[in-house]
Amino acid sequence: MTEANSRPSDGFHVFDTTLRDGAQREGINLTVADKLAIARHLDEFGVGFIEGGWPGANPRDTEFFARAQAELEFKHARLVAFGATRRAGGKAAEDPQLAALVASGAPVVTLVAKSHDRHVELALRTTLEENLEMVRDSVEYLRAQDRRVFIDCEHFFDGYKANPEYALAVVRTAHRAGADVVVLCDTNGGMLPSGVREIVATVLAETGARLGIHAQDDTGCAVANTLAAVDAGATHVQCTANGYGERVGNANLFPVTAALELKYDRRVLPAGALAEMTRISHAIAEVVNLTPSTHQPYVGFSAFAHKAGLHASAIKVDPDLYQHIDPELVGNTMRMLVSDMAGRASIELKGKELGYDLTGDRDLAGRVVARVKAQENLGYTYEAADASFELLLRDEVNGGERQRYFELESWRTISEQGPNGFAGNEATVKLWAKGERKVATGEGNGPVDALDRALRTALEPIYPALAKLELVDYKVRILEGQHGTGSKTRVLIESTDGTATWSTVGVADNVIGASWVALEDAYTYGLLRVGQQP
């Protein structure tokens, strides 16, 4: 992992825990590949710290840290390993869990520590004194291994209310032992901003430690609680993308950083990052396979949607009167209802990103907007399917014509499971390419895999470049979840040829039909990008 120099100042920490605490959300189950993909998005957004998981606690997190070392090149973030203080009655230097944290190679470690007296007794089953000793010993050990250490004081606010002297003693112990930041955690999420502000201010005055805040959203106030802690002097905020997290969730990274940047006028992200917020929020939702919330502050599809009519003319004169911020600051757009998703401006920006200048041709941009709108009505989404969008854009640039490497005649898949555990999947494609009719059959682990193999068998003799093409990820989303297996299906496919990676989308009333559409785009894009002539 190489480290660049463009990190935000250390004076204020935006600390992301999507990969650890966010992954606790009911229904989220991340693979190592998912975690690496999310880490890249978070780094691009410009968070200062990415907590990757608990190395040693399960094989998946251990593997993540190993691969992160090898594969991730962060521009802004530092990788953080999460763990706990050493076990009661032992020594930090001999604790296998702490050894795994060191072995993870992460330059920063967050250690969770108990700060609520009852939790020490009930969950740790040790004495209050030994818990302090565990904090001191663990922090000093990691400092001696040259790790930067943050301490998460679990259940801090409840603990402070129950026994303030003890909660403060934990903060002082961690601080004196060399923890850089002591993070006050509202683990049960029951706090309100006024209480957070008061307690953070008191702890700061009493201990002088650098303080952080970790807020859960059980009262619906996690963002406000985070900001209240900042008001009281905290300089480290722990958040998760889209507020994912256990129970109701965590403080949402996006409204927290937007408020700090736009309302507090405080630079907590790299220049230009804020405008990527909407795209990155949606991209992360795709990776975890949850529909992006249409009503999420700042980044939701509806966040700047105005019912037209009453104030339409006034909005035209001065939109700022009707919006708390300019939506483009966070990469979102104003919409008048009933209206479209894609505006010309965003299409022009997207075209520019892909290397097509559309600003000179308003008519072309308008046609692309119309196509995107029509496709989105059918269930397509281009946020996570750049290659399909680029193909659509090229179609319009080329006067509405798709460059075709093959013409499909038909495909068929058969899946079966028979007696004695026999199971099989087989696909046949019939198509025309360069004037030849090709019929090919493939077998696979599933019907889509079989279809991919049949297509490859048919086309490889004609287009040898396809030998390098590989499907690396495949996602299915059922749209309109109220109709069971009869609903529309959207498939996203990620492909690579070893030098580039691209994503395509297909929609149909079933998973195989949708996969076919996305496969066809994937093959077409793969051939286009190496300059293959049809």
Residue from 465, 478, 528, 530 that binds a copy of itself (CB under 8 A)? 478
Nearest CB to a copy of itself, comparing residues 26 and 206 = 26
Identify which of 188, 194, 239, 189 has the alpha carbon closest to the alpha carbon of residue 212.
239
Check residue 474 for interaction with a copy of itself (CB under 8 A).
yes
Identify which of 105, 195, 180 has the alpha carbon closest to the alpha carbon of residue 139.
180
Residue 515 beta carbon to a copy of itself: minimum distance, rounded to whole angstroms: 8
Contact 214, 196 (CB under 8 A): no
Phi, psi (5° rounding) for residue 247? Answer: 55, -115
Contact region for a copy of itself (CB under 8 A) — 1-9, 93-101, 204-212, 295-303?
Answer: 295-303
Residue 415 beta carbon to a copy of itself: minimum distance, rounded to whole angstroms: 4
- Subset of residues 345 to 384 that bind a copy of itself, contact rule: CB under 8 A: 381, 383-384
Q: Copy the structure tokens of residue 351.
A: 């075209």
Nearest CB to a copy of itself, comparing residues 417 and 533 = 417
Nearest CB to a copy of itself, comparing residues 124 and 209 = 124
Residue 46 beta carbon to a copy of itself: minimum distance, rounded to whole angstroms: 20
Q: Copy the structure tokens of residue 20.
A: 């650890």
Check residue 487 for interaction with a copy of itself (CB under 8 A).
yes
- Subset of residues 184 to 213 that bind a copy of itself, contact rule: CB under 8 A: 188-190, 192-194
Nearest CB to a copy of itself, comparing residues 358 and 454 = 454
Tokens 């894009």, located at residue: 525
Contact region for a copy of itself (CB under 8 A) — 40-48, 103-111, 135-143, 477-485?
Answer: 477-485
Residue from 322, 362, 436, 500 that binds a copy of itself (CB under 8 A)? 322
Query: What contacts 18, CB < 8 A, 6 or more positions away?
Result: 38, 42, 240, 241, 244, 253, 284
Identify which of 23, 504, 48, 51 has the alpha carbon closest to the alpha carbon of residue 268.
48
Check residue 306 for interaction with a copy of itself (CB under 8 A).
yes
Give, as one character, the DSSP assignment of residue 359: T
Residue from 516, 520, 523, 524 that binds a copy of itself (CB under 8 A)? 516
Angstrom distance (rounded) from CA 451 to CA 136: 59
Strand 236-239 versus strand 13-16 pairing type: parallel
Nearest CB to a copy of itself, comparing residues 275 and 397 = 275
Phi, psi (5° rounding) for residue 72? Answer: -90, 135
- Subset of residues 154 to 173 that bind a copy of itself, contact rule: CB under 8 A: 155, 158
- Subset of residues 13 to 52 that bind a copy of itself, contact rule: CB under 8 A: 24-27, 29, 31-34
Identify which of 477, 515, 476, 521 has the alpha carbon closest to the alpha carbon of residue 503.
521
- Subset of residues 238 to 257 that bind a copy of itself, contact rule: CB under 8 A: 246-249, 252, 255
Nearest CB to a copy of itself, comparing residues 6 and 324 = 324
Check residue 83 for interaction with a copy of itself (CB under 8 A).
no
Nearest CB to a copy of itself, comparing residues 207 and 425 = 425
Phi, psi (5° rounding) for residue 252? Answer: -80, 120
Nearest CB to a copy of itself, comparing residues 162 and 275 = 162
Check residue 132 for interaction with a copy of itself (CB under 8 A).
no
- Maximum CA extent, the chain: 83
Check residue 470 for interaction with a copy of itself (CB under 8 A).
yes
Nearest CB to a copy of itself, comparing residues 31 and 69 = 31
Residue from 164, 178, 343, 446 that binds a copy of itself (CB under 8 A)? 446
| Residue 438 β-bridge partners | 431
Identify which of 14, 50, 13, 15 has the alpha carbon closest to the alpha carbon of residue 35.
50
> Taking each helix axis from N to C terminus, what angle separates 128-144 and 96-103, rounded to the nearest 10 degrees?
30
Phi, psi (5° rounding) for residue 223? Answer: -65, -50
Number of residues that bind a copy of itself (CB under 8 A): 121
- Subset of residues 416 to 445 that bind a copy of itself, contact rule: CB under 8 A: 416-419, 422-423, 425, 444-445
* Residue-level length of the chain: 534
Q: What Rg value do the Cα atoms of the chain yield, rounded?
A: 26
